[in-house]
Structure 1
Amino acid sequence: MSPQRLDNSQLESLPTEILQPAYDRSQVTPGIVHLGIGAFHRAHQAWYTENRIAAGEMDWGIVGASLRSSGVRDQLVPQNGLYSLVEKSNAGTKIQVIGAVGDVFVAPESPARLMEQLARAEIRIVSLTITEKGYCHDPASGNLNPQHPDIRHDLQNPQQPRSALGLIVGALQLRRERGLPGFTLLSCDNLPSNGKLLGRVLAQYVQLVDTDLAAWIAANTSTPATMVDRIVPATTDTDRDQMQGLLGCRDEAAVMAEPFSQWVIEDDFLYGRPQWDRAGATFVQDVEAYELIKLRLLNGCHSMLAYSGYLAGFETIADVMAEPAFRQLAQHFLEFEASGAVPVPGDFDIAAYRAQLVQRFENRALRHRTWQIAMDGSQKIPQRWLGTLRHQLQQGGSIDALVLALACWIRYVSAVDDAGLPIEVSDPLAIELKALCDSHQADNAALARAFLGFAPVFGDDLQHNERLQQALAAQLGRVASGGALGAVRALMETSPA
């Protein structure tokens, strides 16, 4: 017999130390549709929104949508949208049941039903966490990729769209036809200038659909940028089993997270918004400085530790940080490479931020897997590393850690780790990247040139930098001969910090 699932009927019987909705969920009406309702959204934006609903802003309920599979819907719908947010730290665990999410739709099952939800008059915000690849863009240029299979499909089949852009444009067309206003589009993905990117690819897509509709959308939507920050590892079956013991019922949608959370948002909402600032978010005129700090320091360091640590056989980021050479590598990267490549707001303490990052990476309770962070590297590296790399090359600054990170990533996409074991590489360009590795595996200089000349990731400029080519070839050789850990130790013996 299956255990009782968490749902509305179970709330009264939960242990008293577990926070839960104290409001009447039947009185909540939707104001937000969120595309890509994965773990990060549920641990971040939905958590902030839960705070505002509990404070009486009952017209900002969330309708979730999965763009690929039914997994999250099958977790949440039997639970009346309820799930546990579990904050884990070295000091202990805190559990809160979140009630902000109402219904959940699966786009591939019925795109028309989801577009109808998006076209409801009460929906004023459409937020997104669809990952970098969900924008169907060229990461190197930031423009729409009109040859992307989903874009080609949606242009030919506008009533059955697959992409977020196709769904959004289809819904906005319905709203226009019905005399309704548009909505604010709120990207919450880890991309530089994510609002500008979303606005740009949306405009480029709709120009291919209908120029009159394009003009209407430009006048009836806004795309404010955001910076989001919270470490949210994938929930495991072990986590769910432990939660069952704590809750007294089964929560298939439980989400694990660190206690830290940050959300910086450009205040450009056309049709209202929750008072997320009263829940701890920060509204600003321009989010760029904050997002660059986060992307280039936190995300850049995270990816560096993930690729090098995975190759060396470490399962989690905390495991990687327990090795002194990796901890020193993180500190070196943060202080001597990433910090110099970001604008720092006048009231922002960059040294304290670096120290806080190291502490967050050392959170043993979180178990953030290196393999999870390493996913989709070809889409992340342009934002997380290459801006810093270009800045450091231009200024003649240190590139040691960045080049070692690139060498580890190249070794990673070759699909073999330092122990000779196969790697399951999850990346939309995995086949092309593996082919580059296989074609040049005996010549590190040629391998470095081939990757730096791979325009979908590196653009057209870095392949001409002789300093970078030589440094990358050298590090590829060190990683190949001594493994990632050996290369990190060798570098740290000659570097400050």
Structure 2
Amino acid sequence: MAAAGAASVPAAGAASAPAPALSRAALAAAGQPLPVAPVRIVHLGLGAFHRAHQAWYTAHADDAADWGIAAFTGRSPDAADQLRPQDGLFTLIVRDEHADRAEIVPSLVEAVSGDDLSRLVELLSAPSTAVVTLTITEPGYRSRPDGSPDLDDPAVASDLAELRGGGRPATTIGRLVAGLDARRWAGAAPIAILPCDNIPDNGRFVRAAVVGLAEAAGLSETAAWIRDAVSFVATSIDRITPRSTPDDRATAETLTGWADAAPVVTEPFHDWVLQGEFPAGRPHWEAAGARFVDDIEPFERRKLWLLNGAHSLLAYAGLRRGHETVAQAVGDSVLRAQVEAFWDAACRHLPDGLDLPAYRAALLERFDNARIEHRLAQIGQEGSAKLRVRAAPVLLAERAAGRDGAAAIAALVAWVALQLEAAAPPDAAEEALAAARASDSPVFELLRLLDPALVDDPAIVAAVTEGVADA
């Protein structure tokens, strides 16, 4: 089941007439049927990135006809409400510096509200379900830095009570535990879980969250079964996917002839690196360019530090300099120099064999694509979680090597300044951030929230304090 290219999608109706709504039945009537693949993948966190990345890779696998995706939303059911009338179909607009092209992606065969726990349990209990993928962002796991569940989080505490009583957990990890518990009782085969969020060693991280929640809920037999029968695959994912706009819906209609309520815009570049086992099988994602490796850590660090670290630096410093998008910020010679300096620092702590000069050059080309309106305010959300893995490790490595870490400090200065100005993008840790801002030592407390190791080094605290004062 290959994705439908725009060139092969027939224009429907006269140009002056409203375009017909996208659906499988409408496409079939127009002579281009897109069969429904059986559900073998469950996705948690239905959003634009999942559709531009994992759904696209699955649609372009050699065996795509065997692998359908049932995707569940997160906090809002809006994406499911938009995609359900379209039978899961959506238009992917690939936008380079000069033009757009579009394809209709058919791999998503069910779009389900996240609160439909009965359907999730049914699918996770099914022997045919082989893979679970997640894109719920770092705060969505509601975990401590080591991955274990944050038992002080009220939502986690509520889930524990629900799981102990056979009720309805509300968090994503709580629902996943309920589904895996049902799978154990059903006697279904082992399964693979793939977190696709920007977290170092994300397979181990999510394993700690899932096993820890099951144990805390008293589901000891299920926790033991998860340890033995569930593979947690580490992944490194990359494809810039900004929020879509009403203009993008018009573009999708122009390119395909179909009215799509939920198109996705993305860049031409895509990357997926995976490490781990798939005990119940998987799509042949290699056909679309995915790579399976024995050691994912170098690829994770390259992506987290060079792409994501630069994004965070541009977000906070760019917002303070009046920019709105990545392209605008990286076009600022001051910020471009800061990015290059940050990359120089990060590359000193990456191993050989990653072709770093070419990777950096490709990143600049991607950042310079002004037609991808990747907004700094979007990138800057959840800064306390993001900087913990994107900038703090580079700074600590530089300090351990005897250098001042000035390039990484620049990112922290910009973020702290926005926090103190009450101008930072939204963050799930706002309660703790507000307490830090109101303290007698706000810079110290903000840095401590990022990583306690930062405030163990007085030179870091002094440099950030001085930088904020001069900002």
TM > 0.5 fold call: yes
Distance in 2, Cα, partners of 1:306 & 1:69: 25
Distance in 2, Cα, partners of 1:51 & 1:196: 28
Q: 2:266 aligns with which of 249, 252, 257?
A: 257
Distance 1:228 1:309, change over 3 A: same
The code of the aligned residue for 1:92 comes to A
Deviation at 1:22, TM superposition (A): 6.8
Distance in 1, Cα, partners of 2:32 & 2:253: 22
Aligned to 1:493: none
Aligned to 1:151: 156
- Is 1:368 matched with 2:369? no
Alpha-carbon displacement from aligned partner over 1:231-290 (angstroms, at most 9, x marks no partner)? 111111222233233333321211111100000011411111111112100011121110
Q: 1:173 aligns with which of 181, 184, 196?
A: 181
Unpaired segments ≥5 residues, structure 2: 1-16
The code of the aligned residue for 1:244 comes to E
Deviation at 1:342, TM superposition (A): 2.4
Alignment map for 1:91-490 (pairs within 5 Å) = 91-108=98-115, 110-139=116-145, 141-158=146-163, 159-209=167-217, 210-335=219-344, 337-344=345-352, 346=353, 348-416=354-422, 423=423, 425-439=425-439, 446-454=441-449, 457-459=450-452, 461-479=453-471
SS of the residue 2:43 aligns to: strand
Deviation at 1:328, TM superposition (A): 1.4
Deviation at 1:477, TM superposition (A): 1.0
Unpaired segments ≥5 residues, structure 1: 15-20, 417-422, 441-445, 480-497
Distance in 2, Cα, partners of 1:260 & 1:57: 21
Deviation at 1:450, TM superposition (A): 2.6
Distance in 2, Cα, partners of 1:103 & 1:132: 25
The code of the aligned residue for 1:71 comes to D
Q: Decide whether the 8 Å contact of 1:447 with 1:473 is kept in 2.
A: no
Distance in 1, Cα, partners of 2:265 & 2:418: 27
Give TM-score scaled by structure 2 length: 0.91
The code of the aligned residue for 2:271 comes to Q
Deviation at 1:398, TM superposition (A): 4.6
Distance in 2, Cα, partners of 1:78 & 1:24: 15
Distance 1:280 1:166, change over 3 A: same
Q: 1:85 aligns with which of 78, 88, 92?
A: 92
Deviation at 1:66, TM superposition (A): 0.8
Q: 1:11 aligns with which of 10, 23, 27?
A: 27
Q: Decide whether the 8 Å contact of 1:415 with 1:434 is kept in 2.
A: no
Distance in 2, Cα, partners of 1:111 & 1:436: 37
Deviation at 1:424, TM superposition (A): 6.7
Distance in 1, Cα, partners of 2:21 & 2:349: 48
Q: Decide whether the 8 Å contact of 2:101 with 2:255 is kept in 1.
A: no
Alpha-carbon displacement from aligned partner over 1:429-467 (angstroms, at most 9, x marks no partner)? 123323433445xxxxx432232333xx213x2212121
SS of the residue 1:222 aligns to: strand
Alpha-carbon displacement from aligned partner over 1:76-111 (angstroms, at most 9, x marks no partner)? 111111101111111321211100001111122x32
Distance in 2, Cα, partners of 1:115 & 1:413: 41
Deviation above 4 Å: which 4+ runs of structure 1? 21-24
Aligned to 2:76: 69
Alignment map for 1:7-46 (pairs within 5 Å) = 7-11=23-27, 24-26=34-36, 28-46=37-55
Distance in 2, Cα, partners of 1:404 & 1:190: 21
Deviation at 1:355, TM superposition (A): 1.3
SS of the residue 1:477 aligns to: helix
CA RMSD across the alignment: 2.0
Distance in 2, Cα, partners of 1:74 & 1:169: 25
